[in-house]
């Protein structure tokens, strides 16, 4: 069995990890690109997953050579997707893990590339659960976050906002996207990856641990209280 270092703080990504919202992004991008006569492929999706909205939009426009400005694409995308966000459901195992860590006094936070506006919509039906987090860093509208994932900045800032400012090696990150995994590792943190079925094996290699679902996580592997 692999050796994992003991941690005492946990940071979660949001989209595709705690909330099942990646399907919304996929549907919106697919339909928007189709309207311009282009195909939004799984390969492209894998490259840009986890990027902040403006960067995500710019990458799509540039890689597919869309006949529209990135700002215009982003505006169209936000308009289409915001109506879907309030229906977001929790991913399997998310609620159990969050409540378990909170009940045992483990400090937890969220580090997401999303904006405050979109996060509020996504949490429409989950406000009580997310009140258990010490804080949520929303990169797209946080003035302190200058660079999106795969930059380590969001995780460094997230860790610094815990009252005891834990060292990177005491933080465990949960991610679903390759860019998020790279960001967490660059921040000096261990990272558990819960990728969707379209992520290539190559992009799973960097993660400290890869799981099929949050339901499969064993907290004791990282020195956290056992279920």
pLDDT tens per residue across span 48-105: 887 888 889 999 999 999 999 999 999 999 888 989 999 999 999 999 999 999 999 9
CB atoms within 10 A of CB 145: 21
Is the pTM higher than 0.85? The answer reads yes
Average pLDDT, integer, range 29-55: 91
Q: Is the separation of the CB atoms in 110 and 126 below 8 Å?
A: no
Ordered structural domains, the chain, with CATH: 9-20+88-218 (3.40.50.1000), 22-86 (1.10.150.240)
Q: Which residues are designated catalytic?
A: 13, 15
How far apart, in whole angstroms, are the C-alpha atoms of residue 62 and residue 81?
Answer: 21
Q: Specify the pLDDT at position 105.
A: 98
How far apart, in whole angstroms, are the C-alpha atoms of residue 119 and residue 138?
Answer: 8
CA 125 vs. chain centroid, Å, equals 19
DSSP state of 19: B
Q: Specify the pLDDT at position 107.
A: 98
Q: Specify the pLDDT at position 51.
A: 83
Average pLDDT, integer, range 198-204: 89
Q: Specify the pLDDT at position 1.
A: 46
How far apart, in whole angstroms, are the C-alpha atoms of residue 69 and residue 186?
Answer: 31
pLDDT mean across residues, the chain? 95
Q: Specify the pLDDT at position 73.
A: 95
Whole-Å CA distances, 13 to 33, 50, 62: 26, 9, 26
Using 50, 70 and 90 to split pLDDT, how confident is the model at 22? confident
Does the pLDDT at position 218 exceed 70? yes
Does the pLDDT at position 136 exceed 60? yes
Average pLDDT, integer, range 14-39: 94
């Amino acid at each position: 069995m692999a050796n994992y270092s003991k941690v005492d703080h946990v940071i979660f990504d949001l989209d595709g990890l705690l909330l099942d919202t990646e399907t919304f992004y996929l549907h919106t991008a697919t339909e928007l690109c189709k309207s311009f006569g282009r195909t939004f492929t799984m390969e492209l999706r894998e490259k840009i997953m986890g990027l902040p909205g403006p960067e995500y939009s710019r990458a799509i426009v540039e890689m597919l050579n869309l006949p529209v400005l990135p700002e215009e694409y982003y505006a169209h995308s936000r308009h289409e997707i915001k109506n879907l966000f309030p229906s977001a459901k929790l991913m399997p195992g998310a609620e159990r893990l969050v409540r378990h860590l909170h009940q045992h006094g483990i400090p937890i936070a969220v580090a997401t590339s999303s904006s405050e506006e979109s996060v509020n919509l996504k949490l429409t039906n989950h406000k009580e659960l997310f009140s258990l987090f010490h804080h949520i860093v929303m990169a797209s509208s946080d003035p302190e976050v200058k660079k999106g994932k795969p930059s380590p900045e969001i995780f460094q800032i997230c860790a610094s906002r815990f009252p005891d400012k834990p060292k990177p090696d005491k933080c465990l990150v949960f991610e679903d996207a390759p860019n998020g995994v790279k960001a967490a590792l660059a921040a000096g943190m261990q990272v558990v990856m819960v990728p969707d079925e379209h992520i290539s094996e190559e992009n799973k290699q960097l993660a400290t641990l890869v799981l099929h679902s949050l339901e499969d996580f064993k907290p004791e592997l990282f020195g956290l209280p056992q279920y």
